[in-house]
Amino acid sequence: MQGSGDMVTPTAHVKAVPIADYGFLSDGEVAALVAPGGDVDWMCLPRMDSPSVFGALLGRHAGRFRLGPSDVSVPTARRYLPGTMVLETSWGTPTGWIIVRDVLLIGPWHHDDGVSQKHRRTPADYDAEHTLLRTIRCVSGEVQTVMECEPVLDYGRSPVRWTYSEDDYHQGRGEAQGSDLTLTLTTDLRLGFEGGQASARTLLKEGDERFIALSWAAVPPPTTSAEAHDRLEWTAHHWQHWLARGHFPDHPWRSYLQRSALTLKGLTYAPTGAIAAAATTSLPESIGGERNYDYRYTWIRDATFALWGMYSLGFDWEAVDFFSFIADVAERDDDLQIMYGIGGERELPESTLDHLQGYAASRPVRIGNAAHAQVQHDVWGALLDSVYLHSKVADHLDGRIWPILGKQVEAALKHWREPDAGIWEVRGELQHFTSSKIMCWVAVDRGARLASMIGQDSQAAEWQMAADEIKADILEHGVDSRGVLTQYYGTDALDASLLLAPLVRFLPPDHPVIRATVLAIADELTVDGLVLRYRVEETDDGFSGAEGTFTICSFWLVSALSEIGETKRAHELCAKLLSFAGPLELYAEEIDTHTGRHLGNFPQAFTHLALINAVMHVIATETAEQT
């Protein structure tokens, strides 16, 4: 949750593809970003947090995979096949039309001959096929088409060497020195190899269909266009069947909820249930800025919003899987971290990749995230609130949860009086951040409620008394003379994280402090109606430079306005935010209010979670007003 830095001259980012224009593909283990021009500019193997194989997003020579017409670089139209993660790009040329479909294949479960060593959740009927499939169909005329696949492993440091797999031109194997990753490129085009690039050229005529499959594991790739079509269709139907399990209101904003649900599913690492905060690293929060961080990890604070969003849309199984991941690490670790690797890893050492110029010349490029070692006191509240929500919706509390509960409540009680780095992971001086105190109150309050639910009445009474003490301290030291919750004790500065106060039920929505806080943020901490995290000139966050508006905070404001009865204002802001969506209804972390440009890592899970919360809030208030 880092901010942004200085601007550079416009010429530094003229050629960069706008972040929001990328298409997002996923199979639950790997993610890919596809540019409008037909280039796969980002893909990491064999996991979404592994080193990149295609990294042109962050460096021109870090690998890409192009497919499209030879003489046209701007497509006519792009869309997802409805209800799927299959990206379709239509190309019109002076001589004809072709349609390209891109998908990370999913197929039937294929571990029936043994137990998977990486899957920790309940097996499903489906599994990743470890294949990026690209199909082409000429629908009219004729089009000269080119394919150029040039992977460079290890973030652009290890070029591959291609060799033919068989005695024909239809399959190649790519390997790099020092790597155990083998890439297999299978196609009904004729391949040629030039250095590290595998290429193909063909003139497609009306009715022609071709395929290219890049695979990296034991599952055999398709070998014919007919088989490629069938496996793409299987994957598309899988996504549509998955989406059909959800409960989406009959409302004009339904498509945003559905795309957010699909995106969150795509950011979920299926073997563990962990949700990655984003699919990328080091996309800047200000062009040319220094605050470029790796978000391919899972934050504990996402838990409550993830469970709320999934349960509210009817995806109980996904909620249970993410909750189980959180429970795994909480049971294992005496000191709960704010974030983990998607496989549950504790150590996420941060380093810079100085050989990469970064997106739009925004450096440094970082991998790993030093924030994993920060002290942030909201983590216990996020965990306890997720447990409480899970127990209410699932009407069940796993037997292993009670010992975890007690440990986290006691940690909150031990540390709530101490300063921390806060929700925004500032790298300046530690402070008594009010939102952190509120989340400590959440931890103890939810602990008391859960204790009462399972008959631990004396423990419930003790913890409730402690929760009341924390609340009294916050109201004494964290409220200014106007009756507004402040960023930290002893300041009058505002902070968008205080919009969470009504959402976690710190005080009733009609309480004067809640109303004053929400309206103060709406009126004083916004640019063109969109919300800043804080005023950078008032907060020592360890960085310099300006900062854009954080989209999650703007969606929080929608929810908070709905809570305090400002329904018209909530609807108008929500409509405005939805109008800023990328062309494929995806969101990065920030929006530049002057240009509408998306900034930060992409697609951003927390933004899509907050979108679900906000849209459901607005729809609920509209429904209530109509009855």
pTM: 0.93
Residue located via tokens 């902070």 = 495
Q: Reply yes or no on whether the pLDDT at 541 is more than 80.
A: no
Q: How far is CA 519 from CA 127, 370, 513, 514, 590, in A?
A: 47, 35, 10, 9, 21
pLDDT bucket at 6, cuts 50 / 70 / 90: very low
pLDDT, averaged across the chain: 91
Ramachandran area for residue 613 (φ above 0: left; ψ -120 to 50: alpha; else beta): alpha
Instruction: Identify whether 46 is preceded by a cis peptide bond (ω within 30 of 0).
Output: yes
pLDDT tens, 114-139? 787 788 888 888 999 999 999 999 99
Q: What residues contact 20, with CB distance under 8 A and at least 6 apart?
A: 581, 582, 583, 586, 587, 588, 597, 598, 602
Q: What residues contact 585, with CB distance under 8 A and at least 6 apart?
A: 255, 256, 259, 260
For the chain, give the percent of residues with pLDDT over 70. 95
Predicted local confidence at residue 109, as pLDDT: 87
The Cα 586–Cα 253 span in angstroms is: 14
**Mean pLDDT confidence for 253-267:** 97
- Tokens (6 digits) for 39: 């280039």
Predicted local confidence at residue 547, as pLDDT: 66
pLDDT tens, 593-607? 888 899 999 999 999
HSE-CB at 309 with a 13 A cutoff on CA atoms is: 30
pLDDT bucket at 14, cuts 50 / 70 / 90: very low
Report the alpha-carbon angle 421-423-427, nearest 5.
35
**Mean pLDDT confidence for 372-380:** 80
**If 0-12 CB within 10 Å is exposed, 13-18 middle and 19+ buried, where does residue 313 land?**
buried
pLDDT tens, 297-325? 999 887 778 888 898 999 988 888 888 89
pLDDT tens, 228-249? 999 999 999 999 999 999 999 9
HSE-CB at 360 with a 13 A cutoff on CA atoms is: 24
Q: Reply yes or no on whether the pLDDT at 2 is more than 60.
A: no
Predicted local confidence at residue 163, as pLDDT: 96
φ, ψ of residue 433 in degrees (nearest 5): -65, 130
Q: What residues contact 413, with CB distance under 8 A and at least 6 apart?
A: 440, 444, 466
| Crossing angle of helices 379-394 and 316-332, rounded to 10° | 140
**Mean pLDDT confidence for 70-86:** 97
Predicted local confidence at residue 338, as pLDDT: 86
